[in-house]
Structure 1
Amino acid sequence: MYKYNTIFARSFSKNEKKRLGYGSLIMAMSIWIVFKHCLSALSLQKSMVIGVEKLMIKNTSISQHLESEPKELKPICNVMEARSDFCEITGDIRVHGNSSTVHIASLQTGNLVGEKSWNIRPYTRKENAAAMSSVKNWSINQLADHKEIPHCNINHSAPAILFSLGGFSGNHFHDFSDLVIPLYLTSRKFDGEVQFLVTDNRPWWISKFRKILEKLSKYQIIDIDKQDNVVHCHSSIIVGLKRDDKELRIDPSKSPIGITKTATTLGYEVVVAEANLSTDLSKFAQIVNSCDVLMGVHGAGLTNMVFLPDNAILIQIIPIGQIDSLARTDFGEPSRDMNLSYLEYKISKKESSPTKLYTLDHVIFRNPKSVHKQGWDAVRSIYLEKQNVKLNVHRFRGTLSKALELLHYR
């Protein structure tokens, strides 16, 4: 099973988190969805960078070393992944923000053979045209003519990672699945010694996740689009972010992780909380991380499960509208990868607010597939934004009892 270590919990407090001596339940309530966030600071081992030596052929008869025949190098840009394109370049790199171009003056391992230029949109949802429409296109070019190489204005000793804050940033689910977790996966091996270059900048996003960003980079973030014709020079750069094909997942085969202990307790202390753009993320993360159970209606807010401690429980309330598969893909499967126990509760029609507006034989109840055929905007409007849930506490009691049972035996 894939497991998260406490990805960002230590990003928010200098003290070790204290556990409650009883089970605790947190309910995140919002206008259209109910949820919370949870990231913990993964303490990953430093990666080793292995140098590539030139192959030499020793001619013993004349005691000379001859350089081997030229071989085609591994492409510096990977455009074969399902979710993101990214380039990893080491050499003499010149980044020109005004033209959205990364110039390769020279490579550490020699010249490229074959393709020498790429176009990259550095965001991790390349399969989604709507997301990528707001992501700037960057050109990666190796320059053969030294007369074309722009002069450096600022030389950096640290490697760089260039990524976009466009796409679906601002949606809590996508903030983590498309940006925070991929950024962590891409940058953590540098142990803070990396410079972030941001394109399509959204300052409020940086403010919201500042404490996480400060754990991943020791340097001030550069808005590369607004550099007034300045050329930034690095000896190494990654353009784009790496991510897993599945949502909200860190593959342990690619990222070593540590595990935190959780209390085994009985009973609930209920905490009702709501997060928005003005919420102090670190304080909110601490609230979620102190709880044993998180419950909420399907929606972006459930992304806050990333702040839950190891072995905690996620209860996802699934509204009407035949979104079971989406609910399990977005949160059910990822929760197991995070070493969380997962329960779901599918509401009845009478627990849904549209029953006050429509009869029970209306098409939105009788044939949700017809609504889905109208496209995502219709689904979101009818089944998410306009649907409130009022739980039948007697019917829901069984799910809470099951959560208590899981807490008892964990």
Structure 2
Amino acid sequence: MRGDEEARENEAAPRERRQKGRTVAHYCHMLRAFEFWHRKCMHLSFQAFCHFKLRLYSAYKTLLPWLSAVKETGFEKITNEMVHRVSSLGLDSARRQQQQSPDAESAKHVSAPSMSEVTCNWSNRHSDTCKMEGDLRIHGMAGTVYVLSSSNFRPNNSTITIRPYTRKWEQETMLRIREVSIRSTAPEPFSFVIPPKCTVRHDVPAVVFSTGGCGTNFFHAMTDLIVPLYITAREHNGHVQLLVADYQPEWVAKFRPILTALSIYPVIDFDADTAVRCFPSAHVGLESHRILGINPALSRNSYTMMGFRDFLRDVFSLRRPWATPVSRSSGQKPRLVFVLRRHSREVTNEVDAIAALAGLGFEVVVAGPEDVRDMAKIAGVVNSCDVMVGVHGAGLTNMVFLPHNGTIVQIIPWGNLKYPCRFDFGDPAPDMGLRYVEYEANAEETTLKYKYPRDHPVFTDPISIERSGKLWETFLEGQNVTLDIDRFREAMQQVYNSITTE
């Protein structure tokens, strides 16, 4: 029996010695690490130094009981050395405090590390946005914004992603938008992220947004991008750098006059930008309040749509700020622009409609699809008019160029479209300082009567068409309008009377 016990002890001894050897080597390495951080502490600010000391001492207290249980001279030497190192930090701290200026508050302010801050808003129905200030580094090609020494850093929010476009309720649209990552680092000395070094430094804020949604459509360009960009960037009076994800050269070229008025710097193609750009502050995503509208209560500078239209008038050097009543006895005629469509929602008897308008006393100007492509040209034409008329569509967005007190007349196609059409153009009109009139086409004025019998749901239950998911192809893409000229003339006579005097 005794021989068996001695044999087991002899077998265990080598294993115990090997384990102790590995442990000694491991904690010798730890001691060297402690020595490194001890030297590093000499260069920390006092505030950061105190945080580090607490962490170091906590780690030491965790290890000490286990180390003390090992009865080896080498281990006792290690633990004593660690105690000495941790304790010496306190002595060094006291010496540093004694060497500081008597004005403790001032010294503390000077030595405190600069902190960055990130604030995000996820509650807006239209868009997610993040604002940040401090040490910011933007690497466009990597799609990343680095926020160094974030004061509100948490491990669970160290990296967040955002799609900087303003139709977040449309999942299909948002999937086309490039994600931008915002990566925050912990305050020094606890950050283990090594951010890229600045290659370009800016002393103005950055605004990051995408043109990858529906921006080529003029209605969406205005409501999804231009109005939100005005809300977000106008306060900087041109001293802001625009970075565009999902860069579309044709979009930037078309809206360059507006972009130039919002920023004095060339627009940067975010996705192709290899530089690491450092900014003092940044705004990822655009503020958006409503369709073709601004809520002054939500705007930091109480911006309004009237102010936005004044801004556009300045951009395009438009002459008429206000539309005034025309005296019929003077021989002058109120000017009306008729916005025409092609391929869908076209007025099939436009010649008769124009003749009826002229017969009422309007000076009629026709603007077809080729005319509205030149934004500066159509802006001048619309601003010279008192009234705009057209079938529901993106062309009516040019109402932003009408003078204040102008009138917009929307022809609504058949298909129970009154409320969605009013939502797009009727509801925004009052905030723009415009009067809104709608002319709703009836079942006799739609070309759908040549495609479907009168007992078809297209006529008896248009809402069922919407529920089936065929609203767009049936009522927006699938019909044209043949105006009842007598009915149309009667409606426009009221408009004429409202903008003229004896």
TM-score by length of 2: 0.64
1:235 corresponds to which residue? 280
Q: Distance in 2 between matches of 1:99 and 1:63?
A: 45
2:296 corresponds to which residue? 252
Q: How does 1:122-201 map to 2 (within 5 A)?
A: 122-144=164-186, 145=191, 148-201=194-247
Which of residues 297, 303, 324 is equivalent to 2:397?
A: 303
Q: Distance in 1 between matches of 2:117 and 2:135?
A: 18
Q: How does 1:82-101 map to 2 (within 5 A)?
A: 82-101=125-144
Give the drift of 1:278: 8.1
In 2 relative to 1, CA 341–278 (structure 1 residues): closer, same or farther, beyond 3 Å?
A: closer
For 1:133, the aligned partner's letter is: L
1:399 corresponds to which residue? 491
RMSD after superposition: 2.3
For 2:406, the aligned partner's letter is: A
* 1:368 is the counterpart of 2:462: yes
CA deviations 1:96-116 (Å, max 9, x no partner) are 122211001246xxx225444
CA deviations 1:364-407 (Å, max 9, x no partner) are 112212211121xx211111112111211100112211111221
Q: Contact 1:130 / 1:167 at 8 angstroms: preserved in 2?
A: no
* SS of structure 1 residue aligned to 2:499: helix
Give the drift of 1:117: 3.2
For 1:112, the aligned partner's letter is: N
CA deviations 1:154-186 (Å, max 9, x no partner) are 212221100000122222211111001001111
CA deviations 1:120-155 (Å, max 9, x no partner) are 110011111011010111111112336511111121
Q: Contact 1:208 / 1:277 at 8 angstroms: preserved in 2?
A: no
For 1:239, the aligned partner's letter is: V
Q: Distance in 1 between matches of 2:498 and 2:119?
A: 48
* SS of structure 1 residue aligned to 2:404: coil
For 2:391, the aligned partner's letter is: V
Which of residues 384, 393, 402 is equivalent to 2:476?
A: 384
Q: Distance in 2 between matches of 1:65 and 1:148?
A: 31
Runs (4+) of structure 1 exceeding 4 A deviation are 72-75, 256-259
Give the drift of 1:74: 7.8
Give the drift of 1:63: 8.2
1:76 corresponds to which residue? 119
In 2 relative to 1, CA 321–147 (structure 1 residues): closer, same or farther, beyond 3 Å?
A: closer
- RCO comparison, higher one (Cα < 8 Å, 6+): 1
Which of residues 152, 163, 167 is equivalent to 1:112?
A: 152
Give the drift of 1:360: 2.4
For 1:125, the aligned partner's letter is: R
1:17 corresponds to which residue? none
> Which structure has greater helix proportion?
2
**Larger radius of gyration, structure 1 or 2?**
2
1:264 corresponds to which residue? 325
Q: Distance in 2 between matches of 1:219 and 1:277?
A: 30
In 2 relative to 1, CA 276–143 (structure 1 residues): closer, same or farther, beyond 3 Å?
A: farther
Q: Contact 1:343 / 1:399 at 8 angstroms: preserved in 2?
A: no
For 1:78, the aligned partner's letter is: N
Give the drift of 1:73: 9.8
In 2 relative to 1, CA 97–290 (structure 1 residues): closer, same or farther, beyond 3 Å?
A: same
Q: Distance in 1 between matches of 2:193 and 2:246?
A: 30
- How many residue pairs match? The answer is 338
Give the drift of 1:277: 9.5
Report the more deviating stretch, 254-263 or 176-185.
254-263
For 2:428, the aligned partner's letter is: P
Q: Which ranges of structure 2 fall in alignment gaps of 5 or more residues?
A: 1-101, 110-114, 311-320, 334-361
Q: Distance in 2 between matches of 1:163 and 1:249?
A: 19
* SS of structure 2 residue aligned to 1:334: coil
Give the drift of 1:252: 3.4
Q: Contact 1:318 / 1:344 at 8 angstroms: preserved in 2?
A: yes
* 1:121 is the counterpart of 2:163: yes
Q: Distance in 2 between matches of 1:350 and 1:318?
A: 13
Q: How does 1:17-36 map to 2 (within 5 A)?
A: none
* 1:224 is the counterpart of 2:270: yes
CA deviations 1:203-224 (Å, max 9, x no partner) are 1111111111111111111001
* SS of structure 1 residue aligned to 2:429: helix
Q: Contact 1:275 / 1:284 at 8 angstroms: preserved in 2?
A: no
Q: Distance in 2 between matches of 1:277 and 1:344?
A: 24
Q: Which ranges of structure 1 fall in alignment gaps of 5 or more residues?
A: 1-61
1:273 corresponds to which residue? 367
